[in-house]
Amino acid sequence: MGLTSSINGIYCEKLYQDLWIKGAAMQVGGRGCKERYEAIEAHLSKLQGPFKVLDLGANMGYFSFRLAENFKGDFVMLENSSTTTKRLLQLCLMNANPQIYFLAVRVNLAELEKILLAEKFDVILALSVIHHFNEPFNDIIATFARHSKYVILEHANPEETHCPNPNRIKAEPLNLSPYNPIKLCTSTATGYQHIFRDTYALTGSVEASEKSTPGISLETYSKYSGIYPHPTLLHSLLKKHKDKSLLRLVEGTIKK
């Protein structure tokens, strides 16, 4: 199939999320985003900010871009798909939001936990992503909850046969009861009219009063393939400083 269209140079064939650029959806994707975003925004509005957010499997960055426009904080996207990384970098450049960070990396659960330990996120966005992991789903959720204050979770419906690991989705029911789940919304699954996915807010183990460290350390940024923002002096600074953990990217600038 050929490329169907282009928005400001971003090709949009088989677009999953909406394309969001500076306050507007430029094109609607195959999976509804607006309803889910509004439910997430309403829930986070009740909580004390600013937030440090990790967006796992960010795709086109729709949720991070919108959250970064409406909240104060740091919004770190993880995405590493051959069809997505270049598009998402273009969107980062177009949105030009200094609260956005992009790590072009795919991680297993053990590697992800190292990032969570180093950066201490307030909120983890895990929207239709845990079925891409090889580890048991409930172990993944437990790890998220152990290292955050809140988890926004969406999981594939067992009736969806086209998803990665469809047999595991049926065989591994989620146990959300330890995390005081609140259902935020229900939306149709991709390509279906009568199959739905629920989005939940879960309470993590980190105390709500605990302060997260602003920005992202240059050590984390470098180790996990950070590509946005990318300060010109990044590599020379890393060579000069022995303790790289003291250097951080905060709103696009380097600080100790």
Q: Where are the domains of the chain?
A: 32-255
Residue 214 CA to residue 157 CA, distance in Å, equals 36
pLDDT tens sequence for the chain (256 residues): 223 444 444 444 567 888 999 999 888 877 889 999 999 999 999 888 899 999 999 999 999 999 999 999 999 999 998 788 999 999 999 999 999 999 999 999 999 999 999 999 999 999 999 998 999 999 999 999 999 999 999 998 888 877 777 888 999 999 999 999 999 999 888 766 788 899 999 999 999 888 888 999 988 998 999 999 986 667 777 777 777 667 889 988 888 8
Residues 140 and 129 sit within 8 Å (Cβ to Cβ): no
Q: Helix or strand or coil: residue 6? A: strand
Q: Tell the residue number behind the tokens 């984390």, with chain if given.
A: 220
Least Cα distance to 251 among 231, 225, 232, 223 occurs for: 231
Q: Tell the residue number behind the tokens 């967006």, with chain if given.
A: 55
Give domain 32-255's CATH superfamily. Vaccinia Virus protein VP39 (3.40.50.150)
SS (H, E, C) 51-86: EEEEEECCCCCHHHHHHHHHCCEEEEEECCCCCCHH
